[in-house]
Amino acid sequence: MSYIVFSTLVLLITLLGVYVVIENNRKKAREAEKKVFNDRLKKITSQFKSKTAEFVEAKALRPKYSPKVNAIVGNFFVVQAHTEENLDQLERIAEQFIYCVVSELNKCRENGNLDLLSDQLQYFVAELPTSGISYNKEFYQEILPALIIMIKTPDQGPNSTPSDESTQSNDDTTSETADENKATQKVSAKPQPVA
């Protein structure tokens, strides 16, 4: 009888030891995942902030607007859950903003019209939420992408003149009038039903 009690005791101690080892491994795995997540978040945030500083140095973004632009990445997880899917979305939206501003900056440097981009970014910043709780899922999925698209500047150089624009406007009006005339002719050419 004492042999059965001793065997049961050894088995329970072994099971307890295995359980403790498994739980420690799970805890280490969760901590490693959390560390990878936080490292990736830090990388996205630091890259975004460094690009924002570059935009300030290039005089495309005024220094006083830099903190509000950086709030895009800083406030992402204020309301949203810390998930890989949300982190992927943050990365996409940060890259979209950076790509848009860099391409517009290059275009404005070629055109010599950097003030236009600066104004567009000023309008962009004015539309950003003022409270951290407003940086929610709807903002990042719907509002912010639309705001980023609004940063784009017209493809005009500093050498374009108002007469060039009026000529283009007249050409557009002429083609619209011609299209309307064709549509009117098609409608009048249709046979009318006999009553």
pTM of the prediction? 0.69
C-beta of residue 94 within 8 angstroms of C-beta of residue 78: no
Q: For the segment 28-64, what is each residue's pLDDT rounded down to a tens digit?
A: 999 999 999 999 999 999 999 999 999 999 988 999 9
Residues 6+ apart with CB under 8 A from 153: 104, 107, 108, 113, 116, 117, 120
How far is C-alpha 134 from the geometric centre of its chain's CA atoms? 15
Instruction: State the number of CA atoms in the 13 A half-sphere of 75 facing the CB.
Output: 19
C-beta of residue 60 within 8 angstroms of C-beta of residue 118: yes
Q: For the segment 4-37, what is each residue's pLDDT rounded down to a tens digit?
A: 888 899 999 999 999 999 999 999 999 999 999 9
